[in-house]
Amino acid sequence: MTELHRLVLLATLLLALPLLVAAQIGRPAAPPRGPAVVLDGRELAVPVTITPGGPLFALRPLVDSLGGQLGGDDTGESYNLKIEATEVVTGIGNAIITVGEEIVSLSQPPVRGEGGPQVPLDFLRKTWGAVSGYSFDWRPEESRLIISRRESREIKVTLDVVHLQGMTTVVLQFPETPRYRINQLPGVVEVQVLADRLAPPARKKVEDSLVQDVTFAPQQIRIQLVPDAEAESYLLDNPFRLVFDVHRKSAAPVPVGPSAAAADLRSSTRTIVVDPGHGGTETGAIGPGGVAEKELTLVLARDLEARLTQRLPVRVVLTRTDDSKLPLDSRTAIANQNKADLFISLHLNSSLGSGAHGAETYFLSSQASDTHAESAAATENVSGAAAPAPDSGQETQDLQMILWDLAQSHHLAESQRFAGLVQAELNQALELKDRGVKQAPFRVLMGAAMPAVLVELGFISNPDEEAKLQNPAYRADLVEALVRAVGRYLEAPQVDRRSTPPLPPPQGAVRSNPGSPTPP
């Protein structure tokens, strides 16, 4: 190119420039373009398919931009998406996905398309939206998806503080699951909210013997405990609740001497609370020979205490040591105050016919596993001043369900496991007729914040069993079976209660011998 040519070209460009600029200005604002996905003002290369049911977005490029790991199974039909700690499982053609533990239905199923699997808008909201706090704004008139890091949500929180049988339960309830972290400090539990802001409940004074105060800041909740209290936390779903059980620090006796061995022993010492049923004017069942249930349960409880402490590294607390009347609620209160690892309530059965015999082990359920279990619970529930009248109505039932939900529900799997061991040992030791593990709404088990069972050690209404129960050798066999069951229970690794889903209703009752006939 010569010098002249260059000058001509430059002049032409200079002349044409205003025209070009004018043309640019005069052009309509948005030329017809395909759909777009925009994150923080930057367009992402995400293929989008517009369908009558709404837009579908290619998943892989979104994973690259929003974070997460995407894996597929061998068939290529199912995908596993991990966002932070949450697993999302989704399948081509299936409008149901799982997000963590939750099952979520989508407006339309994911399909295979340009760029691999494509997912609808609500998929994005229920995964990255819920987990990482992104917001997804689809503007149909522009065919654009605007993704932004969501403004912090304002989440309402409600507070309940219930003092229940020696233990205070603090419940923080949220309409949606917040992102949070729990910090346990000496005397204080802090709930730190991560991305969201809290709308605290109306200020109310907490008056409680274990919790001094609960205070709210936009991103923090502080539960202030009294000096010798400590808290354990767990979660409940639907609605989402953070629950804190506040106890006095364990009253376990401190062994003499500061040796490491002693400290080890102390930390491995478990507390078993044994509850001799009835007492005082509450005699319980009376046998045909005149023996009262309350007398036998106390004798059996004392024997059990002696054998347990001899054989196992346990501390045993009896709910009563003499012939005194004790409300049902106080019995669980003693167990909660002592931070018991196990609660065993001892009883003797009665039935109208004199032929019934055998032992039965129960754990708690809101409903009885059969009519016999129901009547056994009804019989035991009338004793104790704090038992509700049968006609006390819906309110009491609701309250009972709350107690049930809070205290015993996350120990049910362990209660069931222990009940199975007790029943198996009793059957084997005594060649007793197997009456199986049963579920029933025993009031004495409600509110127990540890695995808890009620054992009916035989039928005092049966003259043969009444006589046998007065024989120390026979009682020793019963006690020995219970000690073995406790030993086996403590040996085995515990079910992680926080990951234990609630048991199904009592149709799922476990019977170690499904064939055993129904007693008269």
| Residues within the interface to Zn ion (CB under 5 A) | 277, 284, 347, 380
Buried b (16+ CB within 10 A) or exposed e, 349-380: bbbeebebbbbbbbbbbbebbbebbbebbeeb
Minimum CB–partner distance for residue 520 and Zn ion (Å): 19
3-state secondary structure (DSSP) of residue 367: coil
Q: Spell out the SS3 assignment of 206-233.
A: CCCCCEEEEEEECCEEEEEECCCEEEEE
Pairing assessment for the beta strands 116-120 and 54-58 based on DSSP bridges? antiparallel
Minimum CB–partner distance for residue 447 and Zn ion (Å): 18
User: With respect to Zn ion, which residue has the nearer C-beta, 169 or 350?
Assistant: 350
Torsion of the alpha carbons at 51, 55, 60 and 63, rounded to the nearest 10: -160
User: With respect to Zn ion, which residue has the nearer C-beta, 460 or 503?
Assistant: 460
Minimum CB–partner distance for residue 470 and Zn ion (Å): 17
User: With respect to Zn ion, which residue has the nearer C-beta, 198 or 377?
Assistant: 377
User: With respect to Zn ion, which residue has the nearer C-beta, 434 or 456?
Assistant: 456
Minimum CB–partner distance for residue 383 and Zn ion (Å): 7
CA gap 180, 164 in Å, rounded: 27
User: With respect to Zn ion, which residue has the nearer C-beta, 129 or 279?
Assistant: 279
User: With respect to Zn ion, which residue has the nearer C-beta, 117 or 358?
Assistant: 358
**405 burial type by CB count under 10 A (0-12 exposed, 13-18 middle, 19+ buried):** middle
E-strand ranges in 252-374 read 270-276, 314-318, 342-349, 359-364
Minimum CB–partner distance for residue 284 and Zn ion (Å): 4
Q: Which amino acid is at 448?
A: A
User: With respect to Zn ion, which residue has the nearer C-beta, 284 or 420?
Assistant: 284
User: With respect to Zn ion, which residue has the nearer C-beta, 380 or 425?
Assistant: 380
- Are 112 and 92 a contacting pair, CB within 8 Å? yes
Instruction: State how far the alpha carbon of 253 is from the alpha carbons of 209, 338, 470, in Å.
Output: 22, 11, 34
By beta carbon distance, the residue nearest Zn ion is: 347
CA gap 170, 157 in Å, rounded: 12
CA gap 429, 379 in Å, rounded: 27
Minimum CB–partner distance for residue 294 and Zn ion (Å): 8
User: With respect to Zn ion, which residue has the nearer C-beta, 39 or 382?
Assistant: 382
Minimum CB–partner distance for residue 162 and Zn ion (Å): 28
Minimum CB–partner distance for residue 276 and Zn ion (Å): 10
- Are 312 and 249 a contacting pair, CB within 8 Å? no
Residue 342 sits at φ, ψ, to 5 deg, of -150, 145
Beta bridge partners of 439: 363
Minimum CB–partner distance for residue 373 and Zn ion (Å): 14
User: With respect to Zn ion, which residue has the nearer C-beta, 248 or 278?
Assistant: 278
Minimum CB–partner distance for residue 295 and Zn ion (Å): 12
Minimum CB–partner distance for residue 472 and Zn ion (Å): 21
Residues 6+ apart with CB under 8 A from 347: 277, 278, 284, 293, 297, 380, 454, 455, 456, 457
CA gap 17, 92 in Å, rounded: 53
CA gap 481, 307 in Å, rounded: 11
DSSP string, 231-263: EEEEEETTTEEEEEEEEEPP-PPPPSS--HHHH
User: How far out from the chain centre does Cα 8 lie?
Assistant: 82
Residues 6+ apart with CB under 8 A from 272: 308, 314, 315, 316, 317, 340, 341, 342, 343, 344, 486
User: With respect to Zn ion, which residue has the nearer C-beta, 331 or 339?
Assistant: 331
User: With respect to Zn ion, which residue has the nearer C-beta, 222 or 302?
Assistant: 302
Residues 6+ apart with CB under 8 A from 11: none
**Cα 79–Cα 81–Cα 86 angle in degrees, nearest 5:** 140
Minimum CB–partner distance for residue 277 and Zn ion (Å): 4
Minimum CB–partner distance for residue 242 and Zn ion (Å): 37
User: With respect to Zn ion, which residue has the nearer C-beta, 420 or 458?
Assistant: 458
- Are 376 and 349 a contacting pair, CB within 8 Å? yes
